[in-house]
Structure 1
Amino acid sequence: MSTLLAFDFGEARIGVAVGTTELGIPHPLETIAAEGNDKRFARIGELVAQWQPGALVVGLPLSPDGGEHEMTRLARKFANRLNGRFNLPVHLVDERFTSAAASSALDEAGLKGRRQKPALDQVAAMQILQAWFDSPAE
């Protein structure tokens, strides 16, 4: 059994989710909204120390047709930094439509509009981790 931390990378916020390979059920953890990479990576370091993950999962934003763009490049850079700082395997997962799925899930839970903002990124990270669990290649 291995614990995984998943990240929905954004320039303003990073959503974080956690789950185990044994259960294959992700849970939203938190949204990191700290300004500056040093503060963001310090918080991620605290989460890595607390949860002791065997691997990390990062959502890879792609255009609807699967093409790459600037946020794809930034997410890859973030994933490389995670690997370099924490010396853990980092898996990239196609995150197309995860924010829409997260918003829909929050709608169903009764959180609509602006009330979704505090939870949206971590629920998107949960969707990313679920996609990793569901991937037959993994």
Structure 2
Amino acid sequence: MSIQEQIKDYINSQPERKRSDMQELHHRILSMMPDCKLWFLDGKNSENKTVSNPNIGYGLHTIKYTDGTTKEFYQIGMSANTTGISVYILGINDKTFLAKTFGNKIGKASVTGYCIKFKSLKDINIEILQEAIEYGFKASS
């Protein structure tokens, strides 16, 4: 199954409101970065044990670990969680940046060092979320 098919199946497996919100976000992210690399992680480790929620990834950046090793990973991620949707913005060095820059303007969302979590798109300012995602693409490019 292709990554696009896995993403489509994952989004379609969500309850209606979450499904339509995730579809809209998926299309918005792809319109910002139409040629970005797509990822789908099923949330399972090498022993096929569930270790996280499945997630969709967009873009490509290299994570550098303190021991000098590196790993390719996505820049922006999206995942369904028990109460709504999480958007991950990776590759930002300042772990207070997202909360300081977007936290007060985004609406009903929890904003941490690299994650913006909200119940529904109607609860947030989608333009502010889009600004945060665009910043994430630029910051980790």
Structure 2-normalised TM-score? Answer: 0.29
Structure having the higher helix fraction is: 1
RCO higher in 1 or 2 (8 Å CA, sep ≥ 6)? Answer: 1
